[in-house]
A and B are shown apart, each in its own frame.
Chain A
Amino acid sequence: MTHGAWDTVADVASLVCLLGGAFLAFAAGVGVLRFPDLLSRMHAGTKPQVLGLVLVLVGLALRLRSGGAVWALVLVVVFQMLTAPVAAHMVGRAGFRTGKVRSDLLVVDELTRDLDAAGDGRAAPHAPGPAEPGDGR
């Protein structure tokens, strides 16, 4: 194949990646609006944060095709992969401790069980048992 043909292939692949990333961002918007509680919204929100971002940046790298810029994009992906779990962990923990997690929607709730087993005086604010009536949280 000629040089120009490879350029076309890279451009098309780049557009496919960009389209995938944009679709994931859209899906995150829909999910964060429609899902019922904090944890499921976090689940929706992480889609474009890692996979969507990787797709978009791969698309950008395929289109730029120059060394220095592509290394900066790798840096963005590494930063995002380091920081997204930390941010998600802190938001989830703060949500659990301030009672934003609806225990009636959880399939497995190991943290409440472990806190009870530990007999900790400052157990989770929403002990298992009769779930509070849904107040939209």
Chain B
Amino acid sequence: MSVVVLVCSVLLVTGAVLAVVRAEKGPSMLDRTIALDIVVTTMLAGIALYAAVYRRADVVPILVVLSLVGFVGSVTIARFASVEPEGEGRVRTREEIAAEEAARRAAEEAEVSEAHEAATETGAVEADEHHGGGAQGEVR
């Protein structure tokens, strides 16, 4: 009895972990949806295993709810799936995010100082320049 339950638990946990690895690797949103579907199904099986071992009939409503939630999630994601740009599907590393962040910040600062120079030339420094400034060509 307990040996079988242990084997079942190990199989379920391994399956869920492998699915989570796929969800991390992607490469597309739909692959992740499928992987998370499998995680939800494995959770269903795990709760059913728990209920079977301890004869807990009161957790059965949880199974009903989980089986519906998984469906809503995957259908929603599939409905709004779109063509992803190249490289979008990958989880970026910390260094890449830092580099992108630095580039974005440098570009912003350059823009702000440029706008500041232009404003001082015309002698009209606006009070709201710290709010990122107006858009280029904005009608005021």
Contacts and interface: CB of A to CB of B under 8 A. Distances in A.
A84 B38 CA distance: 12
B23 to A, nearest CB: 9
Contacts of B31: 38, 41, 100
A27 B14 CA distance: 9
B48 A59 contact: yes
Interface in B1-60: 1, 4-5, 7-9, 11-12, 14-19, 21-22, 27-28, 30-31, 33-35, 37-38, 41-42, 44-45, 48-49, 51-52, 55, 57, 60
B74 A91 contact: yes
B98 interface: no
Contacts of A64: 51-52, 55, 57, 60
A6 interface: no
B37 A69 contact: no
A91 B12 contact: no
Interface residues of B, number: 52
Nearest to A91: B78
A12 to B, nearest CB: 9
Q: Is the interface of A mostly helix, strand, loop or mixed?
A: helix
Given A76-B63, A87-B37, A18 B30 contact: no
Interface in B82-132: 82-84
A54 B45 CA distance: 10
A91 B79 CA distance: 8
B78 A48 contact: no
Interface in A99-122: 99-100
A9 interface: no
A69 B7 CA distance: 25
B11 to A, nearest CB: 4
Contacts of A27: 15
Interface of B: 1, 4-5, 7-9, 11-12, 14-19, 21-22, 27-28, 30-31, 33-35, 37-38, 41-42, 44-45, 48-49, 51-52, 55, 57, 60-61, 63-64, 67-68, 70-71, 74-75, 77-79, 81-84
8 contacts: A18-B8, A28-B15, A41-B31, A53-B45, A91-B34, A91-B74, A95-B30, A98-B81
